């Protein structure tokens, strides 16, 4: 197989997006549109040639981990003109695969077929049949079904507009043919541009057989021009993902209200309720349940654990048989042990909560190590930050922290120690002891409640 040169057209502004961000850098799931296309081309072993123009440096910065030949198209004079800019860098013993930075869901398996056909015939096109082809270039065939040309919507006659096989723009062609045809392009159209599609008629005139690959999935070839189309593709992508997850055994209450913007692995008998969003890389054990409106990002969740409604877990680990939430937030580097409980309106940051420990209500635990069997009462705060530096709190096994206590780090609470409610602890507390810090309660018998004059 010859070398594959992927030529990805990504120079346009995308004015219909009405955004300061270039169109190809709009987000679809967890990637930019351009990144989706690059990831489809890489498994083919293709060399990447990306044509850029609008906000070129920003686009270049988005693909910083691949070897890319960046080619600047200073003026956007059509698709043919864009490909012309790349050809000086293309060797004749290669196949050129023309892709578009705003057609993100193309699959590498489809491209493999297209390349194989081009290797045999010299030229292959990807098309699709639509019930409503309005707005797209039509594939023209002769009476024997041979492709003889492409006509754009704005240039099509009334009879040509009735054709429902449309051009996707994606093609594979041997480099010498492409080079020859590009040199002969003329701006003979309503837009005054150089259309890449005009090379089809040139190939037909040269008796080159143009292989036809008809795509069976419209989502693969859908382009994105505005926010409506971006949202439409997002739902199609999410539907594809959730269907695959459910086929592998994931329980999902409502597939239309499920989003995975990354990767997700799961064990048996997991159940995901509505409006749960997965981001990054996530792993669920067996029998995990996640209630509505949760965000799970780069998390590992153990067996038989329940994530209750409206909770956020980010870059954290949760053990087996644990309970999180409702309205809990695990910030990065929270490690929650087996049988542990993180209750409502509790925030944990960069802390370890040991097995069988509980932080049940309205508390903040930051930069802390909590042992096993610890009870942290309502309203407890680990005061880890002095305005300049952060310090550690250590709570040893079996300790009981009374409600509304403030633990001023750095401080250590000993094994099986008890902290009285409302205490402010500034010094280490020994094992098996009770620590209090309260002013004496005073009752004024002569006090009278004020009354309105």
Which residues does the annotation mark as catalytic?
Answer: 361
Residue among 192, 123, 200, 132 nearest 166 (CA): 132
Contact between residue 342 and residue 356 where contact means Cβ atoms under 8 Å apart: no
| φ and ψ at residue 247, rounded to 5 degrees | -65, -30
Q: Give the whole-angstrom CA distance, residue 428 versus residue 417.
A: 11
Contact between residue 325 and residue 314 where contact means Cβ atoms under 8 Å apart: no
Report DSSP letters for 92-146, one per residue: TTEEEEEEETT-TT--HHHHHHHHHHHHHHSEEEEEEE-S--TTSPEEEE-TTS-
Residue among 361, 273, 282 nearest 316 (CA): 282
Contact between residue 171 and residue 124 where contact means Cβ atoms under 8 Å apart: yes
Helical (H) or strand (E) element with 358? strand 358-361
Rg (CA), the chain: 31
Helical (H) or strand (E) element with 235? helix 227-247
| φ and ψ at residue 174, rounded to 5 degrees | -65, 140
DSSP letter (8 states) at residue 212: E
Q: Is 258 helix (H, G, I), strand (E, B) or coil?
A: strand
Q: Give the whole-angstrom CA distance, residue 327 versus residue 434.
A: 31
Rounded to 10°, the helix 79-86/175-183 angle is 120
Distances (CA, A) of 450 to 16, 81, 318, 358, 446: 65, 85, 52, 43, 13
Which residues in 345-435 belong to E strands, given as ranges?
347-349, 352-353, 358-361, 364-366, 368-370, 375-376, 381-383, 393-395, 400-401, 406-408, 411-413, 418-419, 424-425, 434-435
Question: Which tokens is 299 given?
Answer: 């998390």
Residue among 320, 402, 336 nearest 369 (CA): 336
């Amino acid at each position: 197989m010859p070398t594959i040169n992927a030529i990805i057209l990504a120079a346009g502004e995308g004015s219909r997006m009405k955004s300061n961000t270039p169109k190809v850098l709009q987000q679809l799931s967890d990637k930019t549109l351009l990144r989706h296309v690059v990831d489809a081309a890489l498994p083919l072993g293709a060399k990447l040639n990306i044509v850029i123009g609008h906000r070129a440096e920003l686009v270049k910065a988005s693909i910083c981990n691949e070897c890319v030949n960046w080619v600047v198209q200073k003026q956007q004079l059509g698709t043919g003109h864009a490909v012309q800019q790349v050809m000086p860098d293309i060797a004749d013993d290669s196949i050129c695969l023309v892709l578009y930075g705003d057609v993100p869901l193309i699959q590498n398996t489809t491209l493999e077929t297209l390349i194989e056909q081009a290797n045999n015939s010299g030229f292959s096109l990807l098309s699709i049949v639509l019930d409503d082809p309005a707005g797209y270039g039509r594939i023209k065939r002769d009476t024997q079904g041979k492709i003889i040309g492409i006509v754009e919507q704005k240039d099509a006659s009334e009879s040509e507009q009735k054709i429902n096989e449309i051009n996707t723009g994606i093609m594979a062609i041997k480099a010498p043919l492409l080079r020859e045809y590009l040199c002969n392009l003329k701006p003979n159209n309503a837009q005054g541009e150089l259309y890449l599609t005009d090379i089809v008629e040139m190939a037909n005139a040269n008796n080159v057989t143009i292989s036809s690959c008809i795509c069976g999935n419209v989502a693969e070839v859908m382009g994105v021009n505005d926010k409506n189309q971006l949202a439409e593709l997002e739902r199609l992508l999410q539907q594809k993902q959730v269907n695959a997850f459910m086929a592998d055994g994931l329980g999902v209450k409502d597939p239309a209200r499920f989003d995975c913007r990354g990767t997700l692995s799961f064990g048996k008998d997991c159940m995901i309720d509505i409006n749960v969003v997965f981001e990054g890389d996530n792993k669920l054990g067996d029998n995990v349940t996640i209630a509505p409106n949760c965000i799970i990002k780069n998390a590992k969740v153990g067996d038989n654990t329940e994530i209750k409604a409206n909770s956020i877990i980010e870059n954290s680990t949760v053990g087996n048989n644990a309970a999180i939430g409702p309205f809990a937030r695990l910030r990065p580097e929270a490690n929650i042990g087996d049988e542990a409980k993180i209750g409502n309106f509790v925030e944990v940051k960069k802390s370890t909560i040991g097995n069988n420990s509980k932080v049940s209500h309205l508390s903040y635990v930051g930069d802390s190590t909590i042992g096993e069997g610890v009870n942290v009462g309502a309203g407890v705060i680990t005061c880890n930050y002095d305005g300049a530096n952060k310090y550690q709190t250590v709570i040893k096994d079996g300790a009981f922290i009374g409600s509304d206590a403030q633990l001023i780090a750095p401080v250590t609470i000993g094994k099986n120690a008890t902290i009285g409610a409302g205490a402010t602890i500034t010094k280490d507390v020994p094992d098996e002891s009770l620590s209090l810090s309260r002013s004496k309660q005073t009752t004024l018998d002569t006090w009278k409640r004020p009354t309105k004059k």
